[in-house]
Chain A
């Protein structure tokens, strides 16, 4: 009887999981360092065009984003390109107050370094973009960044 008992007690050896939290924490820290927080939920499609002469945007805290593109929920909002500021649709007239509120949130010394990043869908017509640019000029937000991906330019082979 004793012999049988001995065999059943053996079983499979337990895997030591003591270092599992360490591994997971390592992954966690990796992701915390390499990624940035999602700031807004996009309601418009912004399939960016690609370009070669691009620079990286630094200091994300000094960048305000303007999204322009056809609404994702086209059954509800139609297909005409719309402007999105923060978390909602906006019109061209809202841009001045948007820039002003972004300025208020920035230290005075850093205001000249503020950049507006235009994330515009590549199929958008320039009309709405021109309106936005004119509005930005009016409020003296002159530094813009046309957001693009890295890649070959359309139309050149």
Chain B
């Protein structure tokens, strides 16, 4: 009979694998990181000339104070109405002269499109809670996203988030810019 190769004892293999498994369970996390992406404005160059003033009708001012109360365009606002108000401001459906001007721009894949010149200006206090700040950011982002969805559906038949072609995505982005600016911080209400 030919000599058999000696069998390696694999009994402890399971123990080794278990050890590795437990090591990975302890040192890793499962959570995926999600969040609201924003671009901060670049730092102000003190030597740069004053930027031209933005016309009052083109600005939608949202203030959040230290008690988490909203002031939308000079009037007390509510968080659950903010999205509608922001949409109405950006779309200006009735061409109201107190709401932002629209400029017709020729955009690839879309053609001539009335781009709103409106800018949402968000200002918060040092005492505003982070939760409220995120809620406001979220509502404003939702307003822009909903408008983009409508434009995307109208021209390409799918929602904005379902657009796969990078060129089409950029066209919709140009048609509906994410015009949310954050004012220079001010200390209004103290801590």
Contacts and interface: CB of A to CB of B under 8 A. Distances in A.
Interface of A: 17-18, 20-21, 24-25, 27-28, 31-32, 34-38, 49, 51-57, 60, 63, 115, 117-118, 120-127, 129-130, 133-134, 136-138, 140-150, 153-157
B82 to A, nearest CB: 9
B24 A60 contact: no
B17 A144 contact: no
Contact of B33 (A117, A122, A155): A117
Kindly state the interface size class of chain B when it binds its partner: 35 or more
A17 to B, nearest CB: 7
Contact of B43 (A24, A56, A125, A138): A138
A92 B29 CA distance: 28
B179 interface: no
A25 B17 CA distance: 6
25 contacts: A21-B13, A21-B16, A21-B17, A24-B17, A24-B18, A49-B134, A51-B135, A53-B145, A54-B35, A57-B35, A118-B35, A120-B130, A125-B129, A126-B125, A129-B130, A129-B133, A130-B185, A138-B43, A145-B37, A145-B38, A147-B34, A148-B35, A154-B131, A154-B135, A156-B135
Given A51-B35, A122-B131, A126-B125, 6 more contacts: A21-B14, A32-B24, A36-B29, A125-B129, A142-B39, A155-B79
A157 to B, nearest CB: 7
Contact of A146 (B14, B35, B139): B35
B121 interface: no
B34 A130 contact: no
A35 B33 CA distance: 12
A140 B42 CA distance: 7
Nearest to B78: A155
B10 interface: yes
A54 B34 contact: yes
Nearest to B134: A49
Contacts of A118: 35
